Structures are given as C-alpha cells and as structure tokens.
Amino acid sequence: MRNWYRATIGGLPRLYWYLWSGMLINRVGGFVALVLSLYLTSDRHLTLSVAGLVGGSYGIGGIAGVLLGGVLADRWGRRPTLLLAHFGAVVMLAGLALAEPIWLIAALAALLGLMHAMPGPAFVAAIVDVTPAADRSRAFNLQFWAFNLGMAVASVLAGALAEMSFTLLFAVDASATLVTAVLILWKIPETRPAARTASASASASASAKPSGGLHTALTDRAYMLFVALSLLLAILSTQTSTILPLAITADGLRPSVYGSVVAYAALLIVVGQLFVPRLIDRWRKGTALAVANVFLGLGFAAVSLADGVGGYLAAATIWTVGSMIAAPPNAAVIAELSPEALRGRYQSVFYLTFPAASFIAPAAGGVSLQYLGDWHWVVCGALGLLAAAGHLLIQPARERRVARQLEAERFAVPVAG
C-alpha cells in the first residue's frame, strides 16, 4: 500500500492538490451541462429541435472559450483567467435560471459554454507550471480520475435535483462554482513563469520564438485527418450529455435513471482505466482507435433496443469500453504528430473537437431524434463504424509520417509542419 501511494499520489506539490481539489469540486457541482436539454424541454417546454439548437449554443460558446482561455492564460496569467471564468460562470448560471425569452436563454447558454471552456487551458498550464516533469504523467492521470469521479457524483445528484427543482439545481451548480473560485482566490497564486521572471522570459522568448503558428496545425494534413476522426468520436461521446437524457425520459423513465446510467459509466472508467494500457500496449494505435470506435458505435446503437434500466446499463457498458480504449492512443498520437515547438497549438486544435461536438451533437441530434426516433441511435452506430474504418485507412500514412519525423529529429533536421 505504501509503495502504491508513493507511485500514484506521493510527492506531488501542495499547489497541485489545490488545483486538483478545485477541479473536483467544480466537476461534482457541474450539473447544468448534463441536464440542459432536459431543462429546456421539461421546464421551458421547448420542442426537441429547438432545445437542441439552444443547447448547441453552449457548444458554440465552448469553441470560443477554448481559444480565449488559452490566449488569456498566456497573456493575463493562469489565476486571472481561472477567476474570470469561474465568477463569470456563477453570473451566467444565475441568469440562465431566471431568463424567460428563448433568445436570452440561448445567449446565456453560449456565454456559459464560454465560461466553462475557458478554465481548461489555464488549469493544464498551471499543472505543468507547478509539477516537475517527471511527475506530470501521474498528475494528469489523477486529474483524469478526478474528472470522472466528479462526473459520477454530479450525474447522480443532477438526476435527483432535476426531479426536485431545476432552480435548486442551478443554485447548487453556482454554489460549487463559487467555492472553486474562492479556493483559487485564496490558495492559488499566479503560476505563469513569465510572471515570476518577466525579464528572463522576455529575453528567452525573443531568442527562442518557435517557428510556425496555429495555421501550421490547421494545414497539417495527417494531423487534421486524425482530428476529423476524433470529432466523430467526440460527437458520439457527447450523446450521453445531450440526447441520451431525452431518450430515457421518452421511454417513461425518471430523470434519476439518466443520472444513474451516466454515473455507472463514469465509475467504470474510474475503475477500468487502470487496466486498459496493459491490455492494448501491443496494439498499433490506429487499431486501438478503430476498436474503440466500434465499441462506441455498438454501444450507442444498442440504445435503440433499450427500454428499461437494464438495457441502458448494458449499452453504457459497451460504449464505456470504447471510451476507455480510446484515451491512451489518442494522447499518444497527438504527441507523435505535434512538432516540439508547436505542441500547445496542436493541442488547442485537438481540444476544439469537444466544444464543436457540444454544438453538433445536440443541434443535429435533437432534429434526428425528433424525426428518426430510435433510428437516431442506429445512425450513431454507423458513425462509429465509419470512424473505425477511417483510423485503419490513415494508419499506414500516419505511421510513415511519424517515422520520418523521428528520423529527422534524430539528425536535428527541421521538420515541416
């Protein structure tokens, strides 16, 4: 037990644990994004398609938030960006709970999406700032674990609170966000290296400014093909927080059933993710991603057959296996394709897939579910199979690209983006 503690938890700086605690508290209280579509249809009485479009505005805000959060974290600093995002989210949550006109609800949902997406780059940058390089892998593993644990707790609470009062749900979410903001204000100083050594940072950046920019990632064919396939995976995964609650309630089940299903899936990840790397260690990365997308597709296709709690739990088991298999090779492929000097820009392009999916999944999914019914889930299954085939097709060319890049780096030859 002592060896496990040292290998998994021990030795990380105290400031990291403040950041970790803030992320966990905020995730546990992050209800609204999980049940926004349910709130819009049951409390605001919007149609499925209109609710999907309004919910999609949350994703549009998230796209802007990812980019804005990264820029502000580097220009203003990590701490100001985190404070702005969390205090801003509190205001947006209060406004969304009280808003009546549909246009205002859509605008506030977009701003809430922006505020929720902004902290991501700043949190990651702060963890890198305060954690020694040798400990960063453990730090991010624990962050991933905290995210899924928080998701599990939030899902159960969200379903229960939705049955009691949506106003109470918004109030608890805002309170958790406020607690995180106060923790940041109280315990987390600015961690940006430039803030501590401004003159040294200025001279270093002048002498070691990386070549290329965001356009380098956007014009990297091999990378953008991978990002496009990752977007399909993200659209499938986002079904759980956008369209799945509508399907569950359409089957006459209580909102708490949805919370239990998502909590079950998150707990599977918390437990099972520890064993996945050893399972797929010998697989080629594209093969692992293809298998992951097949499981995701089959899992969501199985929702078309589910009409009770057992059916939804079985479907969740299948798609969660896909999510667990996808995580390690996804991170490895991004690292392989990213030039060393442009890793941040390449990461920002990849992470845009999540807010993009947060728009596409509810906007298209609401219409699809309304007019196709259970066939919507069959379409999701087909998307999973399409993404799996795509990963197998691009795998040889991507591996050749990685081999050339490694060879060039070995002989210190610059690699074109």
**In a shared domain, residues 230 and 163:** no
**3-state SS, one letter per residue, for 115-150:** HHHCHHHHHHHHHHHHCCHHHHHHHHHHHHHHHHHH
Say if residue 83 is in the same domain as residue 227: no
Rounded Cα–Cα distance for residues 175 and 28 (Å):
11
CA dist., res. 326 & res. 292, Å (int)? 5
Any domain includes 207: no
Q: Burial code of 364-395, b = ≥16 C-beta within 10 A, e = fewer?
A: bbbbbbbeeebebbebbbebbbebbebbbebb
Asked whether residue 157 falls in the same domain as residue 62, the answer is yes
Are 184 and 238 members of one domain?
no
The whole-number pLDDT of residue 292 equals 94
Query: Among residues 158, 189, 220, which one ends one of the domains?
Result: 189
- The percent of the chain in helix, strand and coil, each rounded to the nearest 5, is 85, 0, 15
Look at residue 204 in the predicted model and tell me its pLDDT: 42
Confidence at residue 409, expressed as pLDDT on a 0 to 100 scale: 60
- The DSSP annotation for 285-327 comes to HHHHHHHHHHHHHHHHHGGGG--SHHHHHHHHHHHHHHHHHHH
Instruction: Indicate which CATH number applies to the domain containing 381.
Output: 1.20.1250.20
* Overall domain count for the chain: 2
Instruction: Round to whole Å and give the CA distance between 200 and 193.
Output: 9
CA-to-CA distance for 366 and 48, rounded, in angstroms?
5
Asked whether residue 143 falls in the same domain as residue 221, the answer is no
Do 114 and 234 lie in one domain? The reply is no
User: 256 and 169 in one domain?
Assistant: no
- pLDDT, position 358: 77
C-alpha distances out from residue 42 to 52, 89, 200, 258, 338, Å: 13, 23, 56, 14, 45
- CB contact at 8 A, 59 and 172: no
Specify the pLDDT at position 119.
85
Instruction: Report pLDDT for 121.
Output: 76
Tokens 């928080």 identify what position? 150
CA atoms within 13 A on the CB side of 139: 25
pLDDT of residue 208: 41
202 falls within a domain = no
- Residue length, the chain? 417
Report the pLDDT value the prediction gives residue 141, as an integer from 0 to 100.
64
pLDDT at 410: 67
For position 12, what pLDDT does the model report? 83
pTM greater than the 0.75 cutoff = no
* pLDDT for residue 257: 85
pLDDT in tens, the chain (417 residues): 454 445 445 578 889 999 999 888 878 777 777 777 778 887 777 777 788 788 778 878 888 888 788 778 777 888 998 999 999 999 999 998 888 888 898 899 899 989 988 888 788 778 878 888 667 656 766 777 777 778 777 877 777 777 777 788 888 888 889 999 999 999 999 887 765 544 344 444 443 444 555 677 788 898 899 999 999 999 998 888 788 888 888 888 887 888 788 878 878 887 877 677 678 778 898 999 999 999 999 999 999 998 888 999 999 999 999 988 887 777 678 767 877 555 556 767 787 888 788 788 888 888 888 888 889 999 999 999 999 999 999 999 898 888 887 777 666 544 443
Element housing 374 (H / E): none
Q: Is the distance from CB of 367 to CB of 242 less than 8 angstroms?
A: no
Does one domain contain both 180 and 261?
Answer: no
Place of tokens 């197998």: 392
- Containing structural domain, residue 107: 13-189
Q: Are residues 141 and 268 in the same domain?
A: no
On whether both 303 and 265 belong to a single domain, the answer is yes
